[in-house]
Amino acid sequence: MGHGVAFGDSLTADAHSWAEILGLINLGVPGDTTVHLIGRFTDVAACDPDLLIVLVGTNDARRHGAAADRMLVPDCQTAHNLRLLIALAREQTRARVVFVTPPPIVEARVRRAPLLRREAVTWLAADVDRKAAIVAELDGEVIDSRAALPPPLDRHLLADGLHLNQRGQQRLARWIERSLRNRP
């Protein structure tokens, strides 16, 4: 796979994540948004990767508090931040940059997840879907995580409805690897 770096949130940071399965340097941090990744980009540049795989956007769709009336990062800001990440990668690395769309969620399970309820955070499936569409529309290489995770989604997600289980992580890793091989 070469000298690759995975950059993202908890979907990447997991000790058994797609990034770990692929043997990438894992720069995932739970809770990170596109804003955080911009702030941490020097970590990527310091690794001098020839491949950079970015899976981000799910936490941009996160909503906080009892009302949960607004996403943490508005869609227009997510799009702007992703373009900035591409610019930073082009300016500071020699890496092939590949984005992976945020995987789908099961909203009903997210709403019932005890830890998420205790932290007063939630996600709406439509918000995450929009973030995935924003990533998919980027000018560059994009891998659709959703194609790797066919229904029923419950087979690929933990009980929280948000994070990938081991089966989901393995399917995503194989999909990313296959997608990278099939592109020039």
- Per residue in 12-35, pLDDT (tens digit) is 999 999 999 999 999 999 999 999
Structure tokens at 184: 């020039």
Annotate 41-90 with DSSP letters as a single string: HHHHHHH--SEEEEE--TGGG-EETTT--SBSS-HHHHHHHHHHHHHHHH
- What would the pLDDT profile of 58-109 be if each residue is shown by its tens digit? 999 999 998 899 999 999 999 999 999 999 999 999 999 999 999 999 999 9
Domain ranges of the chain: 4-181
Q: Is the peptide bond before 102 cis (omega within 30 degrees of 0)?
A: no
Class of domain 4-181: alpha beta
pTM, 2 dp: 0.96
Alpha helices, DSSP H, located in 93-149 = 107-112, 114-118, 125-136, 145-148
Q: Is the pLDDT of residue 164 over 50?
A: yes
Q: Which residues of 40-79 are buried (b: 16+ CB within 10 A; e: fewer)?
A: ebeebbebebebbbbbbbbbbbbbeeeeeeebbbebeebb
The single-letter DSSP state of residue 183 is -
| CB count in 10 Å sphere of residue 29 | 17
Bridging pattern class, strands 63-64 and 121-122: antiparallel
